[in-house]
Structure 1
Amino acid sequence: MKIKKLLNNNAITVMNEQNKEIVIMGKGIAFKKKSGDLVEEEKIEKIFSLDNQQLSDKLKALLSEIPIEHMELSEEIINYAKLHLAKKLHDNIYVSLTDHISFALERHANGLPIKNAMLWEIKRFYKDEFDIGKAALLIIEAKMGVTLPEDEAGYIALHLVNAELNEEMHNIVSITKIMNDILNIVKHHFRLEYDEESLIYYRLITHLKFFAQRLLNDSPAVNQESALFEMIKQQYAEAFTCVEKIRVYIHSIYNRFLTDEEMLYLTIHIERITKEKQKKEIGDT
């Protein structure tokens, strides 16, 4: 293999057999080299091949600016996340998380910590991802000797959610706000406290996450007039009344009309939450 481009002393690009440019990393792999030189294959440590050309270009630009240790650190955290989350992560995580971790380490070195205003919501809605974020802080401490605050675990969690949903970061923030607002509507309507460890709560959170994503992307569920919708509307009247409040909120803030399908599933999930509360109250008496 021949070097196509030098990114820094530890990163180069080459053309693979499919004539696709890939990134190769290794300590000193580009030292005293130039384009066209043969790659010292014994120095190859990591190979990155991203299907999306725009992402690949961003990764190459990033690697030309940051220490190789930051990329290796990010990759270890991503591999840990893939193993423990058992969820598919979009390749954008290699760029977004690496960039964030490198910047976080730079800010820490300069004594410029940043508070995470959404930390409480992240802990509440993205527990699995937040656990990965906390584990990531331990990896960073072990590898770099740097102790970052819990706020950074929250930011790492958001980057993971971003990669799960393949969304822009500002959309993840908006999704989180929508989830929080809807949960508050339900909470105040029924005067209930959520059991955040319950499976039913987890299912509601998962539904709201994808509901909010569809809302922001203007891709609602298919609207189907059905006898089931009318039956649920009558059978779960109080839950449906609560969903009517959610419908008004969505229309007033986002100018979107909820479909019957969306209202149907929201009603079912909210009914399950209220039934769980009633069962708990009966069990406590």
Structure 2
Amino acid sequence: MQVKKVLNNNVVIAEQSSEKEVLLIGKGIGFSKKEGQEISADTAEKVFRLEDPTEQDKYKQLLPQLDEDFIQFMHDVLSHIEKEMGQIVNEHIHIGLTDHIAFAIKRAKEGINIKNPFLVETEVLYHKEYMVAKTIVSMIKEFSGVQLPDGEIGLIAIHIHSSVTDRNLSDINKNSTLVFQLIQMIEDGLDITLKRDSINYFRLVQHIRFAIDRVSSGVANKEQTSLGKVLKMEYPMCYNLAWKIVKVMQQTLKKPVVDAEVIYLTIHLQRLLN
């Protein structure tokens, strides 16, 4: 491939024979390189083939605003994510997470701390991503000397989840907000307050999350009409609350929710009361 543009000493835009642009990242890879000069991908520590032209343009606009050492650091961060998650991350994380971490460091240096009211829920919803994000915050401190607030762990975790599931951040945030809304409905409806570090809270969040995932993907549990009639008679409060929750889920996701979800949710709510 040939050098198309040298962004800095560590980043080069190159063009393959197929006329597709790739980003080559490596310590000193751009030093003394000229446009049109041949370059091998083997000399790069990381090759980004951003297929989406829009994403590639955003990344090229972002890179000149960043320190060369930070670009190299983000290469290490992305490699760590791929290793821990066991898969190649979606290309949009290169822009989204790079921009987010750069701005988070800047905010922290200026003494601006973003509070994340849903940190516990994020840890429960995306536990593996949360643990990876926690390590990344430690990596950031070692690299920059800046300790990011704990709230940033949750935000980075959502970026990671977005990348490995190939879902955009707005959909993930919408579903997460729905989980929090439904939990509040449950606490109000049953007149209880769940401890955020309890196993009951963990199970509830996971149950709602998987229910939302099933509805979103169109996967339905088997109907159990006879059981539904029994639960309606035995546990009317939990049964009616389950129906209210399902209606909110339908309105938010704009997809039908099968009656079986009401049954499973009723059982779960009754367990909370017990």
- TM-score under structure 2 normalisation? 0.78
Q: Deviations over 1:20-41 (max 9, x none)?
A: 2110012333234332123377
Q: What does residue 246 of structure 1 align with?
A: 245
Q: Is the 8 A contact 2:2 2:16 kept in 1?
A: no
Query: Tell me, which stretches of 5 or more residues in structure 1 are unaligned?
Result: 215-219
Q: What does residue 65 of structure 1 align with?
A: 65
Q: Is the 8 A contact 1:70 1:101 kept in 2?
A: no
Q: What does residue 179 of structure 1 align with?
A: 179
Q: What does residue 207 of structure 2 align with?
A: 204
Q: Determine the C-alpha separation between the residues in 1 that align with 2:262 and 2:171.
A: 21
The AA in structure 2 aligned to 1:210 is D
Matched, 1:230 2:225: yes
Change (3 A) 1:44 1:129: closer
How far is the alpha carbon of 1:269 from its aligned partner?
4.5
Change (3 A) 1:42 1:186: closer
Change (3 A) 1:269 1:129: farther
Identify the range of structure 1 (113-122 vs 190-199) with the bigger mean alpha-carbon deviation.
190-199
How far is the alpha carbon of 1:149 from its aligned partner?
1.6
Change (3 A) 1:50 1:73: same
Change (3 A) 1:115 1:81: same
Q: Is the 8 A contact 1:28 1:43 kept in 2?
A: no
How far is the alpha carbon of 1:232 from its aligned partner?
4.4
Q: What does residue 119 of structure 1 align with?
A: 119
Q: Determine the C-alpha separation between the residues in 2 that align with 1:125 and 1:41.
A: 38
Which of 217, 221, 224 is the equivalent residue of 2:218? 221
Query: Tell me, which stretches of 5 or more residues in structure 2 are unaligned?
Result: none
Q: Deviations over 1:229-269 (max 9, x none)?
A: 53343243245422211144346x6494x5252x4235324
Q: What does residue 140 of structure 2 align with?
A: 140
Over the matched positions of the two proteins, sequence identity in percent amounts to: 22
Q: Deviations over 1:177-197 (max 9, x none)?
A: 100111232344345547437
The number of residue pairs the alignment matches comes to 267
Q: What does residue 163 of structure 2 align with?
A: 163
How far is the alpha carbon of 1:97 from its aligned partner?
0.8
Identify the range of structure 1 (133-142 vs 23-32) with the bigger mean alpha-carbon deviation.
23-32
Q: What does residue 217 of structure 1 align with?
A: none
SS at match of 1:134: helix
Identify the range of structure 1 (56-65 vs 91-100) with the bigger mean alpha-carbon deviation.
56-65
RMSD (CA atoms): 3.4
The residue correspondences of 1:35-114 to structure 2 (distance < 5 A) are 35-39=35-39, 44-86=44-86, 89-114=89-114
Q: Determine the C-alpha separation between the residues in 2 that align with 1:10 and 1:182.
A: 47
